[in-house]
């Protein structure tokens, strides 16, 4: 790697913990380490700290009451707790509707529930990665227990109309519950859950500059869930386990900072993302924009480099300290390429060479310039190895480059 530079453009995978967040957390390791359930002041004071954090996260969700907020250990736990929690409370219905492009932490729960006897409808997406909402509405019936749709897709950044989906679904069957996985929306756009008919919404701290291992679930007051983790009375009996006080404090601080930076996200981060996207598409002849969704989170772009494989691109980017991720099969451990890009019908020529760049409020103009300077050389070098020279030449000519 050249001069140890790190250009971190993989913020949809995880984020750097904000230094102010670390600072806020530190006293809760060795100084104020008390158990919030304890009687004495060392513990009791932390009960107040957790309460304040819950209030902060309520603001972050834009919820009515902090009683609707439950702390969990991850986005995956939030999803499992919501889905299983609401289904086991109502055994009279056995139908679920979700999308083909959910995150595996949601999708695999439904695959498991299918084995347990549920029938699941998977709504598709169009070529831009926008969900076919009609497929959702047409599938709602009196047996539909749950409709589950992500707020923003992790790979393409496409924002789904979850507010509208919740309203339409409730019009058709008021008893159907709606869960929204908002892991990729939190910290990037306003959540404002109280202005929607959404029943449950999950988030994960490490996607918005809090540490890993902390998440939260919003459950509105009219929705009953049965707990996944049974034990003590913590989280109103909905999630046992001594509160992770340092991380809860950290996530609350991160939520506050993210909320303050939302305008910056939607202007400056978006400007840099657009600059990167336009630059790559104009400088590199085999670059193809995989998601041109009308509404996208401001930090994400997904670009396919045709006839080149993604892992090879990432390995070469790594040599310049540029971090991103790929929808290629070779990077996943599974041999299957991205289920999201496949559902969108991204052609095979670009599917395996797709790279997701995701920025954050820490991304600088210099970093984007550096990436734009290095990427064309990387792709040029790798294109020479490709067996598809004829096709690449045609692409080059078509783009007049």
Partner 1 sequence: MKTMWDYTEKVIDHYKNPRNVGSIEDADAIGEAGSLSCGDMLKLYLKVDKNGIITDAKFQTFGCGSAVASSSILTEMVIGKHIDEARKITNKQIVDALGGLPPEKMHCSVMGHEALEAAISNYYNEEITIPSDDEIVCHCFDISKTFLETEIKNNNLKTLEDVINYTKAGGACGRCHGKIKEILDNINKPQPKAEKLTNTQMIIKINNIIEKYISPELRKDGGDIELIDVDGNKIKVKLSGRCGVCNRSQLTLTHFVEATLKEHVDDNIEIIQV
Q: Which residues bind partner 1 (CB under 8 A)?
A: 1, 307-312, 314-316, 318-319, 328-331, 333-337, 348-349, 352, 384-389
Q: Which is nearer to partner 1, 278 or 393 (CB)?
A: 393
**Positions marked catalytic:** 330
Alpha helices in 66-174 (DSSP H): 75-87, 104-115, 133-139, 162-172
Longest dimension (CA), the chain: 75
354-358: strand order across its sheet:
287-289, 300-305, 354-358, 325-326
CB of 353 to partner 1, least distance (A): 9
CB of 5 to partner 1, least distance (A): 14
CB of 338 to partner 1, least distance (A): 11
Cα 79 to Cα 76: distance, rounded to the nearest angstrom? 5
Q: Which is nearer to partner 1, 185 or 392 (CB)?
A: 392
At 255, is the secondary structure helix, strand, or coil? Answer: helix
Q: What is the DSSP letter of 114?
A: H
Q: Is 282 left (phi over 0), alpha (psi -120 to 50) or beta?
A: alpha
CB of 377 to partner 1, least distance (A): 14
Cα 37 to Cα 234: distance, rounded to the nearest angstrom? 8
Q: Which is nearer to partner 1, 289 or 315 (CB)?
A: 315
Q: Which is nearer to partner 1, 233 or 384 (CB)?
A: 384
Cα 195 to Cα 203: distance, rounded to the nearest angstrom? 18
Start-to-end CA distance of the chain, whole Å, equals 30
CB of 355 to partner 1, least distance (A): 14
Question: If you search the block for the tokens 């507010």, which residue do you land on?
Answer: 163
Cα 70 to Cα 58: distance, rounded to the nearest angstrom? 10
Q: Which is nearer to partner 1, 208 or 307 (CB)?
A: 307
121 in Cβ contact with 114 (< 8 Å):
no
CB of 3 to partner 1, least distance (A): 14
Question: What is the token pair recorded at 127?
Answer: 């070529």
Q: Which is nearer to partner 1, 200 or 312 (CB)?
A: 312
């Amino acid at each position: 790697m050249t001069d140890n530079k790190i250009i971190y453009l993989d913020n949809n995978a995880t984020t750097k913990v904000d230094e102010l967040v670390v600072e806020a957390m530190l006293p809760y390791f060795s100084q104020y380490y008390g158990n919030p359930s304890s009687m004495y002041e060392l513990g009791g004071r932390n009960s107040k700290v957790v309460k304040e954090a819950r209030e902060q996260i309520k603001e972050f969700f834009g919820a009515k009451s902090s009683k609707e907020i439950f702390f969990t250990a991850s986005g995956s736990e939030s999803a499992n707790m919501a889905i299983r929690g609401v289904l086991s409370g109502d055994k009279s219905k056995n139908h679920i509707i979700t999308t083909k492009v959910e995150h595996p932490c949601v999708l695999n729960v439904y695959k498991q529930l299918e084995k347990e006897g549920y029938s699941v409808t998977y709504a598709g997406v169009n070529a831009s990665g926008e969900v076919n909402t009609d497929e959702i509405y047409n599938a709602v019936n009196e047996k539909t227990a749950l409709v589950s749709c992500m707020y923003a897709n992790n790979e393409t950044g496409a924002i789904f109309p979850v507010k509208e989906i919740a309203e339409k679904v409730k019009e058709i069957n008021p008893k159907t519950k709606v869960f929204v996985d908002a892991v990729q929306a939190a910290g990037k756009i306003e959540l404002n859950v109280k202005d929607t008919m959404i029943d449950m919404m999950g988030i994960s701290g490490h996607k918005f500059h809090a540490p890993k291992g902390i998440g939260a679930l919003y459950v509105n007051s009219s929705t009953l869930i049965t707990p996944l983790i049974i034990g003590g009375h913590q989280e109103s009996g909905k999630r046992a386990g001594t509160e992770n006080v340092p991380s809860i404090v950290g996530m609350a601080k991160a939520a506050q900072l993210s909320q303050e930076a939302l305008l910056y996200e939607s202007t400056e981060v978006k400007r840099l993302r657009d600059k990167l996207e336009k630059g790559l598409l104009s400088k590199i002849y085999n670059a193809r924009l995989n998601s041109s969704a009308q509404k996208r989170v401001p930090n994400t772009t997904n670009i396919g480099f045709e006839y080149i494989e993604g892992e090879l691109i990432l390995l070469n980017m790594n040599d310049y300290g540029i971090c991103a991720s790929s929808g290629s099969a070779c990077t996943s451990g599974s041999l299957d390429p991205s289920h999201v890009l496949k559902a969108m019908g991204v052609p095979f020529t670009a599917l395996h060479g797709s790279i997701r760049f995701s920025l954050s409020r820490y991304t600088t103009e210099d970093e984007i310039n550096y990436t734009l300077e290095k990427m064309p050389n990387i792709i040029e070098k790798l294109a020479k190895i490709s067996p598809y020279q004829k096709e690449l030449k045609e692409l080059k000519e078509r783009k007049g480059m």
